[in-house]
Amino acid sequence: MKLGVLFSGGKDSTYAAWLAKKEGYEISCLISLWSKNKDSFMFHTPAIELTKKQAGLMRVPLIIQETNGEKEEELKDLEKAIKKAIREFKIDGVVTGAVESVYQSTRIQKICNKLGIECFNPLWQKNQIEILKDLIKDKFEVIISGVAAYPFDRKWIGRKIDKKFVEEISRLQEKYKINPAGEGGEFESLVVNCPLFKKRLDVKLKNVFGEKNSWRGEFE
Partner 1 sequence: MILIINICKEKFHYYEFVKPVEDILKNKGVKFFTKNYRDVAENDLKKAEKIIICGTSLKDFEYFNNLNKFAWLKTFEKPVLGICAGMQIIGLVYGGKMKRKTEIGFFIEDFREEFLGTIGKHEVYHLHNNFIDFKRLKEFKIVCFGDSVSQAVKYKNMYGVLFHPEVRNKKLIEEFCNGKFN
Closest CA to 10 of 133, 139, 96: 96
Question: Cβ closer to partner 1: 102 or 202?
Answer: 102
- Nearer to partner 1 by Cβ, of 113 and 207: the residue is 113
The residues that touch partner 1, with contacts defined as CB under 8 A, are: 1, 19-20, 23, 25, 102, 106, 109-110, 112-113, 116-127
Q: Which residue lies nearer to partner 1 by CB, 98 or 143? A: 98
24 vs 9: CA distance, rounded Å: 21
| Rounded least distance, CB 136 to partner 1, Å | 19
Residue 6 CB, shortest distance to partner 1, in Å, is 15
Closest to partner 1 by CB, 68 or 106: 106
Closest CB 176 distance from partner 1, rounded Å:
22
Give the type of residue at 38: K
The distance of closest approach from Cβ of residue 23 to partner 1 in the complex, given in angstroms and rounded to an integer, is: 5
Cβ–Cβ contacts within 10 Å for residue 59, how many?
Answer: 10
d(CA 191, CA 44): 13
User: Which residue, 27 or 203, is less far from partner 1 as judged by CB?
Assistant: 27
Question: Do β-strands 2-6 and 93-95 pair in parallel, antiparallel, or remain unpaired?
Answer: parallel
Q: Closest distance between partner 1 and the C-beta of residue 204, in Å?
A: 35
Nearest approach in angstroms of CB 195 to partner 1 is: 17
Residue 177 DSSP SS3: coil
Using alpha carbons, list the distances in angstroms from residue 148 to 27, 183, 218. Answer: 32, 11, 15
Closer of 123 and 203 to partner 1 (Cβ): 123
Burial of residue 207 (CB within 10 Å: 0-12, 13-18, 19+) is exposed
C-beta of residue 153 within 8 angstroms of C-beta of residue 141: no
